[in-house]
Structures are given as structure tokens and as C-alpha cells.
Homo-oligomer: A and B are copies of this chain.
């Protein structure tokens, strides 16, 4: 056996993996990309994403648990935004890579454009 190499601290590893896992879903990613532009409340997100409200609330709950988004209450509305700029960078970075990746991974080729 070769000399053992330095491994990453397991705690950090789990932490980081949790962040990546939270980013690892198309619906959540779309949601985050929207929040990267500006803060929004659940209702507006629901309309923008054309999805049902509890589902989005559920996703936001998960993202909040992983501290990827933060909230701000204003009267009746609760506004969501990205927790910090680091996250925005990570998303941007990932999307850049995801864009240039080949399309042979996806079997369906709907454009989704209006």
C-alpha cells in the first residue's frame, strides 16, 4: 500500500455533501436561480414556477434547513432570498458546467420555451 493521503475532515465532507445534495434537484435549482435574481415570497414563486404552493413551501423548508436561503417577514408576506453570495456563485458555477455538458444524458428533448 502506498502512503496514505490526507483525507478531508468527515464533518466538513458531510456538510458540503448536504449542500450539494440540496442543490441536486431540478425544481430546487430552478427555485434558487429565481431567488438569485431577487427576493420573492412563496406566492410569487408559485406563480413564476407554475407549481403548487405547498410543494414549493416544502422545498423552501429544506433549503432553509441547509441554510441556502434566508427569510424576511414583511407584514403578511415572507420574502425568501439566497443566504449568501457564495451560494449564488456555486449555482452559477454549476449551471455553467451543466450548460456546456453534452445532451446525450437527457432522453427527452422538450425545450420548455414559451
Contact = CB atoms under 8 A, between A and B. Distances in A.
A87 interface: yes
Interface residues of A, number: 59
Contacts of A26: 10, 13-14, 17
- How many copies of the shown chain assemble into the complex? 2
A52 interface: no
A14 B106 CA distance: 8
Given A5-B37, A20-B94, A109 B11 contact: yes
A58 interface: no
Interface of A: 1-2, 4-5, 7-26, 28-30, 33-34, 37, 44, 47-49, 65-67, 86-87, 89-90, 93-99, 101-103, 105-106, 109-114
